[in-house]
Amino acid sequence: MPVFNFFHWSEKHGRTLNETGALVSVEIGVPAPLKQYLSEKGLSIPAPVSGFALVDTGAFATAVDESVFTSLGVSHIDEVPTDTPHGSGTSKVYPANINFPGMNVTDMAMERVIGCKLKWKTRDDKEILMLLGRDLLQYFLFVYNGPSSDVTLCY
């Protein structure tokens, strides 16, 4: 099982893990069946959107900022109930193709990603596009090392 370490440090801010949470680089792209359809029709395939995923052990499902799907031209395929301390609501569900370039994990097909508004930038300018939830974490070994400001992920 390959092991990947992500040291959370920047020249300007020093150790950043405590402030930002565990981040891994991510690329979110058009799902494979849609890619094939666009290719067969001679239509252009939108480039994957790059940013960072925040590892969120508190999240049942992986969530992605909805603007990503808008720029990829991917329509939602379901609407599901969500339950929060603030009340009940509904969220859209999208299919996506996920790459983790830092771990050589490519073309991970996810048919049920929650769309939401979560995009924001950390102090060291990392744009977070995704919450990496337990539906994906079940395939990873994850170590959070606070004192050394790094995280380890094995896939």
Partner 1 sequence: MSSASGAKMALDKELALFSRIKSELLKNHEGKFVLIRGEELIGTYDSVENAYTEGVKRFGCEPFLIKKISEQEEVYRNQALALGLMHARF
Residues in contact with partner 1 by the rule CB under 8 A: 19, 31, 33-34, 36-38, 41, 46, 54, 56, 58-61, 63, 66, 69-86, 91, 95, 109, 111-112, 114, 116, 118, 120, 128, 131, 133
Q: Are 55 and 23 in contact (CB under 8 A)?
A: yes
DSSP β-bridge partners for residue 52? 25, 128
The amino acid occupying position 10 is: S
DSSP state of 39: H
Strands 23-29 and 49-55: antiparallel
Check: CB of residue 144 under 8 Å from CB of residue 131: no
What H or E segment, with its residue span, contains residue 146?
none
Nearest-angstrom CA–CA distance, 155 and 143: 12
How far, in Å, are 37, 80, 135 from residue 88 at the CA level?
Answer: 36, 11, 21
